[in-house]
Amino acid sequence: MSRSKAQRVGVVGATGLVGREFLDLLNRRQFPIAQLRLFASGRSAGQRVPFQGSGVLVEDLTQADPSGLDVVFFSAGRSVAHQYTPRFTEAGAVVIDNSSAFREDPQVPLVVPEVNAGQLRASSSRIIANPNCSTIIMLLPLAPLYRAFGIQEIVVSTYQSVSGAGQAALDDLLGQARAFAQGEQETWTHYDRPIFLNLIPRIGDWTEDGECLEERKLARETWRILEDDTFPIYATTVRVPVERCHSESIFLRTKRDVTTREVVAVLEDAPGISLLDLPTPRELARREEVFVGRIRVDSQDPHVVRFWVVADQLWKGAALNAIQIAEQLIDMGRLSS
């Protein structure tokens, strides 16, 4: 593995929750950087963001020259990705996008490196899509179990932290907690009701069949990444008043009989996973792994496996997964510097 080739790197959405984690992780992982450029909306243009001892200027995306970059990490939402990605790819960069803009495009690889890095070798696309955060987190334990035992059906309920919806949602939660503690009137802008001391069983718009978009994404992206849509996925996605890290309760019906010992053995050997008795979100922020606990096979039905998963969605569900994709591209000689 050679990561010596320093890259000219762009981060679009650099002032947002995910964008700031990109900067932290690029630094922590010693990603080889020859040049770093940051982009956001006109609201943030002109700010300087600290990175490795200097202040990097935030450029207005609408005015920026897209040329001269090797890899650009986008985390600025779907419509920004649709509008601005072509400018960077036509100027020669590879774009790794965190939004849902390209996830269903068959020409664009949708990649979790531990699960389907082969998609990067099979495609010459200059756009790579990062899957939805809850999909990535579910797939780390799901993919090795699918390969070992086969899957008949999945029932998943998510408990998704407020930072998963961006800075405005996080401001709502923390503002309401402060107001509550001080006996003041709570206010909210991101949701249509308070999220503090509450939970909201809807993430994203409603679909025509009574689901919400997050539930649809979780199913469709999982089928696409595993290249198998022959089993149903019944998802319920819930926003909870947790600051950071998503949790998921997963029920699998496997194709063959299994034991808890066999399930544990498969997960112990799987990349990117750490087993814990009782993973909880507050303790696991800024950790790279996906944590799996409460693993049990039903005593009456040896096809039923249940477990609990927690991971930092700002890291493995977003910035870390995208950086790992870029690291793979460097190792494959796919980035140009």
The binding site for ligand NAP (CB under 6 A) comprises 13-19, 40-41, 43-44, 61, 75-77, 80, 98-99, 133, 163-164, 166-167, 313-314, 317-318
Q: Is 304 in contact with 6 (CB distance < 8 Å)?
A: no
The two structure tokens encoding residue 182 = 């001080």
Q: Residue 314's beta-bridge partner residues? A: none
Q: Which residue's Cβ lies closest to ligand NAP?
A: 16
70 or 97: CB nearest ligand NAP: 97
Q: Which residues lie closer than 8 Å to 133 by C-beta, 6 or more apart?
A: 160, 164, 246, 313, 317, 318
The amino acid sitting at 91 is A
In terms of DSSP bridges, do strands 48-51 and 33-40 run parallel, antiparallel, or are they unpaired? unpaired
Based on the residue annotation, tell me whether 303 is a catalytic residue of this protein.
Answer: no
Max CA separation in the chain (angstroms): 63
**How many other CB atoms sit within 10 Å of the CB of residue 292?**
25
Among residues 82, 133, 245, 303, the one annotated as catalytic is: 133
Minimum CB distance to ligand NAP, residue 326 (Å): 16
23 or 133: CB nearest ligand NAP: 133
Q: Is 120 in contact with 332 (CB distance < 8 Å)?
A: yes
Q: Cα angle vertex 316, ends 150, 253, to 5°?
A: 20
Q: Is 332 helix (H, G, I), strand (E, B) or coil?
A: coil
81 or 258: CB nearest ligand NAP: 81
164 or 279: CB nearest ligand NAP: 164
Q: Which runs of consecutive H residues, i.e. helices, occur in 54-112?
A: 78-90
Among residues 82, 190, 245, 246, the one annotated as catalytic is: 246
Q: Is 111 in contact with 120 (CB distance < 8 Å)?
A: yes
Minimum CB distance to ligand NAP, residue 168 (Å): 6
Only one residue has tokens 């996080």, namely 170
102 or 149: CB nearest ligand NAP: 102
**β strands within 161-245, DSSP E:** 233-239
Minimum CB distance to ligand NAP, residue 82 (Å): 11
Based on the residue annotation, tell me whether 190 is a catalytic residue of this protein.
Answer: no
Q: Is 195 in contact with 169 (CB distance < 8 Å)?
A: yes
Q: Is 314 in contact with 244 (CB distance < 8 Å)?
A: yes
Tell me the catalytic residues: 133, 246
